[in-house]
């Protein structure tokens, strides 16, 4: 019997297992998922916890509820990969031989990478916070209730980080939250980023910058973080430039697993060196990457993991049939950006094409508006939690193509 081993049972690993199990005979292919955690987190939900929109129970469910029938779930810690001898090594079970390996171990925050940020772990209810962990989001929910005056800074510590639209969503929701609580006039909100603008795509930057200006949200671009002075409540850049805060929320630096670099498969940050279009390891033909663990230059977001899981499944099935894998992944990402007051934007883009206006997912019909802000987009964002738990993780077919479509999209007048 041949073996497929999947490292990681987050969004990417779980979806890949569901798609593969539907197509491969249980008599011919054994599929094993390895993970050291029993809880599955709906990570997009962490954003909403500090504002009282979601609770912990909205964001956490048992992983075993989503492991497909006929797939073995091994609760264990991966400590290495031997790509020359085709086995992964775990802490308790030792060597796991594979014919095909899918690495879907994601990435995690690494506060120790920046001096001062590590103090967040020692004082989770202090003035330094993050929403990129469940515990961080829950602690920030308590802190925001007590914050009625001062300067709130959201800082992008470095790139890449999970879901690049989250910083904009957070500051837009903070504007709504403080207005609803009657203290917005006493709270200054600023986004401090190493990017040249509020976002990395020109059309999106123009649209979101206008929204930030209308909401009286400041944007401080080109700020590289070198240190956090928690006593003085200052962010410090390598050149000595500072940004003061009373309450700071950070993306934190993000890194992949150490064993990926130690196995000779990584890029020095724990991300698997991945062909940008086939999603194969650049070094080994029988290793694929799905989700945040890859170093492809696109968003580290759930929609990307979904598109990648579909393509990796297709390529593995092609190779089993003796065909060449398709080099068809185009960096497709679809992101709702909540803007407050039950409205949201929707961006659909890939490696080469930035977000363009139009309708999604059906050209001319929608029901969602691309680039534009609408109530329907907001309800699409909120509906996504149900879609995630009930459709995506279980491998159900959705009208969402892995490749970005240009049908029904157009270049806005200001971008021509």
Residue for token pair 């509820």: 65
Q: Which residues have CB under 8 Å from 4's CB, separation 6+?
A: 20, 24, 29, 30, 31, 32, 98, 99, 100, 101, 102, 316
Q: Which structural domain, as residue segments, surrounds residue 292?
A: 2-108+255-321
Reference 130, options 143, 115, 147, 148; nearest CA is: 143
**Structure confidence at residue 63 (pLDDT):** 95
**Structure confidence at residue 414 (pLDDT):** 65
Mean pLDDT estimate for the chain:
94
**CATH number of the domain within which 83 lies:** 3.50.50.60
Asked if residue 413 is part of any domain, the answer here is: no
Q: Are residues 116 and 248 in the same domain?
A: yes
Residues 72-82: pLDDT tens digits?
A: 999 999 999 99
Q: Are residues 59 and 127 in the same domain?
A: no
Asked if residue 406 is part of any domain, the answer here is: no
- What domain count does the chain have? 3
Q: Using CA atoms, how far apart are residues 303 and 298, in angstroms rounded to an integer?
A: 11
Of 221, 237, 252, which residue constitutes the final position of a domain?
252
Asked if residue 310 is part of any domain, the answer here is: yes
Among residues of the chain, what percentage have pLDDT more than 90? 88
Q: Are residues 121 and 241 in the same domain?
A: yes
Q: What token pair was written down for 278?
A: 């086939």
**191 contacts 250 by C-beta, under 8 angstroms:** no
Q: How many residues are there in the chain? A: 416
Q: If DSSP codes are grouped into helix, strand and coil, which group holds residue 214?
A: helix
Q: Are residues 211 and 229 in the same domain?
A: yes
Q: Are residues 26 and 118 in the same domain?
A: no
Reference 305, options 53, 103, 81, 54; nearest CA is: 103
Reference 309, options 336, 330, 339, 279; nearest CA is: 279
Q: Are residues 180 and 242 in the same domain?
A: yes
Mean pLDDT, 10 residues at a time, over the chain (416 residues)? Answer: 97 96 95 96 97 97 95 97 98 96 96 92 86 95 96 96 94 98 98 94 92 97 97 96 97 96 96 98 97 94 93 97 95 95 95 93 90 95 95 84 84 69
């Amino acid at each position: 019997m041949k073996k497929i081993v999947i490292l990681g049972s987050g969004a990417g690993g779980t979806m890949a297992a569901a798609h593969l199990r539907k197509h491969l005979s249980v008599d011919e292919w054994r599929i094993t998922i390895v993970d050291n955690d029993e809880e599955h987190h709906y990570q997009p939900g962490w954003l909403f916890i500090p504002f009282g929109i979601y609770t912990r129970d909205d964001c956490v469910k048992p992983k075993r509820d989503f492991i497909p029938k006929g797939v073995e779930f091994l609760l264990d810690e991966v400590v290495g990969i031997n790509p020359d001898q085709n086995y992964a090594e775990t802490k308790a079970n030792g060597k796991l031989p594979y014919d095909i390996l899918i690495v879907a171990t994601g990435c995690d925050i690494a506060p120790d990478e920046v001096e001062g940020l590590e103090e967040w772990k020692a004082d989770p209810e202090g003035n330094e916070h993050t929403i990129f962990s469940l515990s961080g989001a829950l602690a920030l929910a308590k802190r925001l209730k007590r914050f009625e005056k001062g300067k709130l800074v959201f800082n992008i510590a470095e790139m890449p980080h999970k879901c690049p639209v989250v910083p904009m969503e957070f500051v837009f929701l903070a504007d709504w939250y403080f207005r609803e609580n009657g203290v917005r006039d006493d709270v200054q909100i600023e986004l401090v980023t190493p990017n040249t603008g509020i976002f990395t795509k020109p059309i999106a930057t123009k649209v979101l910058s206008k929204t930030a200006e209308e909401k009286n949200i400041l944007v401080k671009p080109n700020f590289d973080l070198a240190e956090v002075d928690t006593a003085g409540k200052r962010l410090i850049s390598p050149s000595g430039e500072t940004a003061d805060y009373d309450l700071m929320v950070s993306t934190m630096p993000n890194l992949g697993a150490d064993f990926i670099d130690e196995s000779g498969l990584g890029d020095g940050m724990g991300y698997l060196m991945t062909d940008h279009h086939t999603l194969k390891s650049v070094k080994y033909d029988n290793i694929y990457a799905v989700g945040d663990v890859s170093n492809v230059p696109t968003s580290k977001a759930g929609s990307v993991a979904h598109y990648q899981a579909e393509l990796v499944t297709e390529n593995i099935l092609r190779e089993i049939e003796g065909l060449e894998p398709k080099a068809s992944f185009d960096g497709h990402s679809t992101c709702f950006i909540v803007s407050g007051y039950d409205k949201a934007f929707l961006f659909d883009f890939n490696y080469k094409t930035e977000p363009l206006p139009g309708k999604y997912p059906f050209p001319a019909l929608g029901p969602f508006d691309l680039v534009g802000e609408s109530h329907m987009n907001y309800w699409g964002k909120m509906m996504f939690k149900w879609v995630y738990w009930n459709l995506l993780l279980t491998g159900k077919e959705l009208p969402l193509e892995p490749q970005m479509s240009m049908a029904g999209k157009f270049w806005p007048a200001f971008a021509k």
